[in-house]
Amino acid sequence: MSPQTQLQHPNTEICSDPAPIMRAFIDIPDPDNFFMVLQAARDILERPAKSGKSGEAVLKVVLSRRPVSLDVPRCDSKHWAEFRNACGGERLLEVQRNFDSVKDNEASGALALANKDATLKMLKPLPRTIDWARPAWVSALPPHMQPFFSYPDDDASSNGHTPSSTKRLIEEDSDIYIRLSALRLIDFLDSHNIPRECYRLYSDPTSLGKINVTIRHCQHKEDHTFGFNKLEIEDYKTAYAEYHKEHIWATEADHVGQMERPKLKGDPSPELRIRLRAVCEKYIQRMTWQLGIKNSENYLYGFDSMIDEDLATAPAFATSRILVGGPFTEAFEYVKKVSGRHNIYGMGGSIYADGRSNLLDNPFNFQVDLCSAADLANLASQKESTVRLYLLPTECGKDRYTVLQEEAKLSLEKISPQAGLLLDQYHEGKFPYPVFDYFEMAF
Judged against a pLDDT cut of 80, whether residue 342 lies above it is answered with yes
Look at 205 and 442; give whichever has higher pLDDT.
205
Judged against a pLDDT cut of 90, whether residue 307 lies above it is answered with yes
Backbone φ and ψ for 100, nearest 5 degrees, come out as -60, -30
118-119-122-128 Cα dihedral, nearest 10 degrees: -100
DSSP code at position 406: H
The answer to whether residues 4 and 301 touch, using CB atoms and an 8 Å cutoff, is no
The answer to whether residues 327 and 306 touch, using CB atoms and an 8 Å cutoff, is no
Q: Rounded mean pLDDT of 332-355?
A: 84
Q: Rounded mean pLDDT of 207-231?
A: 84
115-119, 289-293, 361-365, 423-427: least confidently modelled range: 423-427
Which pTM was predicted?
0.85
From-to residues of CATH 3.90.245.10 in the chain = 12-69+168-215+293-442
The confidence score (pLDDT) of residue 296 equals 61
> Mean of the per-residue pLDDT values for the chain?
81
Backbone φ and ψ for 434, nearest 5 degrees, come out as -70, 135
The confidence score (pLDDT) of residue 354 equals 61
CA-wise closest residue to 201 among 213, 187, 211: 187
What number does CATH give the domain 12-69+168-215+293-442? 3.90.245.10
74-78, 194-198, 400-404: least confidently modelled range: 400-404
Judged against a pLDDT cut of 80, whether residue 360 lies above it is answered with no
The answer to whether residues 34 and 183 touch, using CB atoms and an 8 Å cutoff, is no
The answer to whether residues 386 and 367 touch, using CB atoms and an 8 Å cutoff, is no
The answer to whether residues 61 and 202 touch, using CB atoms and an 8 Å cutoff, is yes
pLDDT level of residue 285 (50, 70, 90 thresholds): very high
**How far is it between the farthest Cα atoms of the chain?**
80
DSSP helix/strand/coil, 201: strand
The confidence score (pLDDT) of residue 13 equals 34
Q: Assign residue 293 a region: left if phi > 0, alpha if psi is -120 to 50, beta otherwise? A: beta
Q: Rounded mean pLDDT of 354-376?
A: 82
- Cα separation, 241 vs 192, whole angstroms: 35
The confidence score (pLDDT) of residue 241 equals 94
- Cα separation, 329 vs 307, whole angstroms: 14
pLDDT level of residue 11 (50, 70, 90 thresholds): very low
CA-wise closest residue to 62 among 313, 320, 322: 322
Angle at 195 between CA 194 and CA 199, to 5 degrees: 90
Look at 225 and 441; give whichever has higher pLDDT.
225
DSSP helix/strand/coil, 301: strand
Give the model confidence (pLDDT) of 130-168 as tens digits.
Answer: 888 888 989 999 988 999 999 999 999 877 788 899 999
The confidence score (pLDDT) of residue 224 equals 67
Percent of the chain with pLDDT strictly greater than 90: 38
Give the model confidence (pLDDT) of 47-96 as tens digits.
Answer: 654 444 444 678 999 999 989 999 999 887 778 788 888 888 888 888 88
DSSP-H helix ranges across 47-163 = 80-102, 105-123
Q: Assign residue 212 a region: left if phi > 0, alpha if psi is -120 to 50, beta otherwise? A: beta
Give the model confidence (pLDDT) of 240-273 as tens digits.
Answer: 999 999 998 887 665 555 567 789 999 999 999 9
